[in-house]
Amino acid sequence: MKNKELNSLKEYKYGFTTQIEDFKAPKGLTEETVRFISKIKKEPKWLLDWRLRAFKRLKSLKEPNWQKPKYPKIQYQDLYYFSSPKSLKDKPKSLDEVDPKLIETYKKLGIPLDEQKRLSGVAVDAVFDSVSVATTFKGELTKKGIIFCSISEAIQKHPSLVKKYLGSVIPLTDHYFATLNSAVFTDGSFVYIPPNVKCPMELSTYFRINASQTGQFERTLIIADKGSYVSYLEGCTAPMRDENQLHAANVELIALDDAEIKYSTVQNWYPGDEKGNGGIYNFVTKRGVCKGKNSKISWTQVETGSAITWKYPSCILQGDNSVGEFYSIAITNNHQKADTGTKMIHLGKNTKSKIISKGISAGNADNTYRGLVDINRKALHSRNYTQCDSLLMGNSCGAHTIPYIKNKNASSIIEHEATTSKINEDQLFYCNQRGLNQEEAVSLIVNGFCKEVLQQLPMEFAVEAQKLVSISLEGSVG
């Protein structure tokens, strides 16, 4: 390390030059915290500088307030931005100590016992085979030249790839939460698929070692090189127990010529209780760029958890003939609020985008689709098709549709359709008449309503997602 840098580090009184013993950053959002995180992760200087630039920028930004869900002010200075994995003694010792409601949900989803323990954070001994599973897959992937590791590992082992693409889709100046993430992100996934390689399996955080401790500021970077294909699954269909209040993840996807990335999310974080206490704020920035010609990015999301969800997985269709897709189910119940949608920015010629959004609102919840379709002047012969359907269950919830649509050239076509209705009573009656109870009937009809999106999910995922859709709406019909 150069002397100058050493000196600059010495100026701070929190002992950056000494060995750190407990893995806890100082409380609060300060430059020291940023330096601490970078230091502990042994990051190169360019990344520290990058984080600091983001931090500096953050100070001049205001938290956005245009979104529909309003939330109590977050006390950023009271948060810890880095803490070591919980030691075994802090975790519940057996399933008996876990919230029985959570266990019940697991049972309904048909999740095996070992799995239940892992998901609810029960201390599981090292024999648990997820480690070995992960290793097996890793071997197979390495043979194909696929890099799949934590972003921290990638920063150490593949710095040139990370440096080239990190922040290339979501600039660190983008908006408040994206900038916050850039300053203090702790870990996340990194995927690189080499040219002309079709990734032979669905990649998932599920299989990655340490996946459950990526923290609240997750950073994911996926690069699909020319002619490659990858399908990535985020999250898990079981409700994750998570105490973090704020989640501000950034996900960046880059698809080069003829490459395809499929990114599926099933999000079922703690939504708060029936009265609206607690729950996660899920403020996520997800964006992909179809950089190369004939490339394709497809987002599929099933959002059933979190107290507030606020995310717009987007596609920048830069390459000619590139394709962007967004399939979404957002279910809100009790006091949940979701404001989600997508942006499709058409820049290249013959670019196509498709948006299918299904919003279901029950209880006292509020569900908003917000989207942008922007076909630029030079994006000749482009097309967009959008369909947003909302279903209202009960009379205390809200459903909103706010699309922004801009067509700037005559050779392109945009079609947008939206409907809002309540659950069809004739259908309910028909199902009841055939012997289904109210909940079964609702589940059946809602799953039908969501079918177009559920179909997009990988098979084994779809089955669980269907069950999840039903569970999320339990108790919403009288």
Partner 1 sequence: MKLNFSKEDFNKNKDNIMFNEDFVKNNFPNKRKENWKFTDLEKILNFKFKELSVYNKKNTITFNEKLQFDHYYLISINGNISKYNFGNGEKKFSSSSKFDTKDLLLKANKIHPFNNFTQDIKNDTLLAQNIAFADRGYNLELASSLSKPIVIYNIFKHDLENKFINISNEIKLLNSDITVIEYNIDYSNSSFFRSTFQIFDLNKSNLNYFIINKGSSKSYNYVRNKIKIDKSNYENYIFTSGTKFKKEDSEISLNSEDSSAKIMSAVFLKNDDHQEIQSTIRHKKPNCKSFQKIKNILKDGSKGIFQGKVHVSKEAQKTDAYQISKGLLLDQKSEFSTKPELEIYADDVKCSHGSTSGNIDEQAQYYLMSRGLSKKNATRLIVKGFLTDVISEIKNKDLKKIINSHLDDVINYEN
* Smallest distance, partner 1 to C-beta of residue 261, A: 28
R_g of the chain computed on alpha carbons:
23
Q: For residue 352, what are the CA distances in angstroms to 313, 374, 406, 408, 472?
A: 16, 11, 14, 15, 33
d(CA 79, CA 212): 19
CB 82 within 8 A of CB 186: yes
Q: How far is the CB of 376 from partner 1 (least distance, A)?
A: 10
Least distance to partner 1 from the beta carbon of 426, Å?
A: 14
Tell me how far, at minimum, the Cβ of 416 lies from partner 1, in Å. 4
* Comparison of 214 and 328: residue with beta carbon closer to partner 1: 328
C-beta closer to partner 1: residue 34 or 392: 392
Residue 423 beta carbon to partner 1: minimum distance, rounded to whole angstroms: 8
Q: In this complex, which beta carbon is closest to partner 1, that of residue 158 or of residue 175?
A: 175
Min CB(473)–partner 1 separation in Å: 14
Helix (H) or strand (E) holding 151: helix 151-157
Residue placing its CB nearer to partner 1 in the complex, 268 or 364: 364
| Cα angle, residue 306 at apex, residues 300 and 311 outer, rounded to 5° | 45
Interface with partner 1 in residues 211-230 (CB under 8 A): none
CB of 248 to partner 1, least distance (A): 24
Task: Compare residues 30 and 407 and give the one whose CB is closer to partner 1.
Answer: 407
* Residue with smaller CB distance to partner 1, 59 or 422: 422
CA angle 25, 173, 269 (to 5 degrees): 55
390 lines the binding site for partner 1 (CB under 8 A): yes
- Alpha-carbon distances of 380 from 54, 256, 324, 346, rounded to whole Å: 36, 20, 16, 9
Q: Pick between residue 45 and residue 408 the one whose CB is nearest to partner 1.
A: 408
Nearer to partner 1, 314 or 412 (CB): 412
Checking phi first, is residue 394 left (phi over 0); if not, alpha (psi -120 to 50) or beta?
A: left
Question: Rounded to the nearest 5°, which phi and psi values hold at 168?
Answer: -80, -20
Rounded to the nearest 10 degrees, what angle do helices 459-472 and 100-109 cross at?
Answer: 130
**229-238 burial code (b ≥16 CB/10 A, e <16):** bbbbbbbbbb
Least distance from C-beta 409 to partner 1, angstroms?
5
Three-point CA angle 238, 188, 81, nearest 5°:
100
Q: Which stretch binds partner 1 (CB under 8 A): 197-205, 391-399, 430-438, 457-465?
A: 391-399
Q: List the interface residues with partner 1, window 175-194 (CB under 8 A).
A: none
CA dihedral 21, 24, 30, 35 (to 10 degrees): 50
393-422 mask for partner 1 (x: CB under 8 A)?
Answer: xxxxxxxxxxxxxxxxxxxxxxxxxxxxxx
Pairing of β 352-362 and β 323-332: parallel
Q: Which of residues 137-156 bind partner 1 (CB under 8 A)?
A: none
Nearer Cβ to partner 1, position 21 or 417? 417
Task: Looking at residues 55 to 114 of the shown chain, list those that interact with partner 1 (rule: CB under 8 A).
Answer: 66
DSSP class of residue 476?
-
CA distances 107 to 12, 117, 312, Å, are 51, 12, 32
Query: How many whole angstroms separate alpha carbon 102 and alpha carbon 369?
Result: 29
Q: Minimal distance in Å, beta carbon 362 to partner 1? A: 10
Judged by CB under 8 A, the number of residues near partner 1 is: 35
Beta bridge partners, 254, equal 223, 289
Q: Which one, 380 or 436, has the nearer CB to partner 1? A: 380
What mask of x and - would describe binding to partner 1 in positions 350 to 389, judged by CB under 8 A?
---------------------------x--x---------
Residues that bind partner 1 (CB under 8 A): 66, 377, 380, 390, 392-422
